[in-house]
Structure 1
Amino acid sequence: TASKGWSMHVPSEVTGEIGKAVSLPCTFTHPHQTYDKTLTAIWRVKEPYNGTVVFKCVAHSSSSLCKTAVGSKNRYQLLGNPRQNDLSLQIHNLTWNDSSKYFCRVEFSGDVHDKYESRMGIRLQLIDNSTAPTSLSR
């Protein structure tokens, strides 16, 4: 899905293991040659555009890191660099509650049209390997 130079690329599904970490890949393209003003990265769950925001970070200039504004710091971590069009998120210590659809969004300050969100969510499937037998010997 592209709109005037915007597009977003996410997998339709990612599998994570209870108690471990998982990364949710999200990359995007935008119509600007360069962009060094304020940028906001947002992840929400359940539905696009009005689902609950679980993670949000703001980078004020091209040199500054994306400072977390929403999201528990020890659980959600931005893996990608939004300046390099990468919003990938890592979730630590997965629990069954994390099972949901995840939507990434980017907002550039200034023009109201400079925001884009994936309508295609990433479905996070969870497995629990701690209950699986450790050896397969009969």
Structure 2
Amino acid sequence: MRKLPIPLLPRAIRLVGVVAVVAVIFYFSLLDSVSAPSPSPWWDKQLHLLAYAGLSAAAVYATAKWRGRSVRRGLGILLAVFAYGLGIELVQGQLAGRYFGFADLLANTVGTLVGGLWLLTERYVRYRRLPAKSTNP
């Protein structure tokens, strides 16, 4: 079976991507307290799910080609993203105008698992490093 080629950005760029997703989640979870009207009753849960799916998928991509067992890598990523979501919820419980929400934590967890599904697809893909740019004109 032929594997689907996926371009692999340099490791530093992949890690910056993870840090960027972490920073966006941090900002909207803890610093931005202005709430706009929701288009649906479950809108905030959908945003939680998407944010944590994005974070776990970014972490999986960032750690592609790391040496070691893929099961250990996968569990480490999922536990780290879950712990980040739990930590954010615990901090929210201490802030005025915010609250700890089990439904939010559940949405974070489901999002983490959805993003982690990328781990299951890795056997069907082949990461290929981008070629270095030539300095010749």
Which TM-score band applies after superposition, normalised by the shorter structure? under 0.3
Q: TM-score, normalised by structure 1?
A: 0.28
Using CA pairs under 8 Å that are at least 6 residues apart, name the structure with larger relative contact order, 1 or 2. Answer: 2
Larger-gyration structure (1/2): 2
More helix by share: 2
